Amino acid sequence: MTDILDAIHEDHANMVKMLNALERQLAVFDAGETPDYDIVRGVVDYCLDYPDLYHHPKEDLVFERLKVRDPAAAAEIGDLPGQHAELAVRTRRLQEAVAAVLGDLEVPHGRLNQTLREFLDAYRQHMNEEERAFLPAARRVLSAEDLAEIQDRLDHPADPLFGAPSEERFAALRQDILNWAEDAT
Ligand SMILES: [Fe+2]
Ligand SMILES: [Fe+2]
């Protein structure tokens, strides 16, 4: 049976695919060509609408409970909610940069590049750490009752990008992810 920790892990697997799609657009941009801004914007919108609203709050609740059950284990992980707030700021920054480019405002190549790079690195590092330390600690410490109770306190909306059906506004990003999944097989 899948529980809240499995759901978090599954979100991470999806978010890896999303970040890889953004990485490909960054490579296009670095090569001096125009990225597909529907894909870039899809990543930004998705992060604002799903990780920020549902994935990170899910983790924050698990983290809160971990702090109660095993403060030392939680302390080793650090300030998870603070990292989520920082990712939200980075996402807004990327959103503004993309809006400026699409609004024909002058955005220096280096600045957009740096914003994209930092966004990608911060997201990846955060998720890798959660997979390495946070999820195993939560799995070790929290009981099935803890996890079920957290699950009950949350909303569980469909994932607008990876769920079926995917929302139309994510069509370009979804298609890119599917194309690359096919290439990999
Ligand atoms: Fe997180
Ligand atoms: Fe996460």
User: 55-91 as b/e, with b when 16 or more CB fall inside 10 Å?
Assistant: bbbbbebbbebbeebbeebbeebeebeebbeebbebb
The distance of Cα 77 from the centroid of its chain, to the nearest Å, equals 18
Residue 8 Cα to ligand 2 midpoint, Å, equals 6
The structure's pTM equals 0.94
Spatial distance between the Cα atoms of 26 and 9, rounded to a whole number of angstroms? 25
Residue 184 Cα to ligand 1 midpoint, Å, equals 27
Closest ligand, as measured to the CA of 77: 1
Residue 107 Cα to ligand 2 midpoint, Å, equals 30
The secondary structure element, H or E, covering residue 87 is: helix 80-102
Residue 59 Cα to ligand 1 midpoint, Å, equals 6
Tens-digit pLDDT profile for residues 12-68:
999 999 999 999 999 999 999 999 999 999 999 999 999 999 999 999 999 999 999
Tens-digit pLDDT profile for residues 83-103:
999 999 999 999 999 999 888
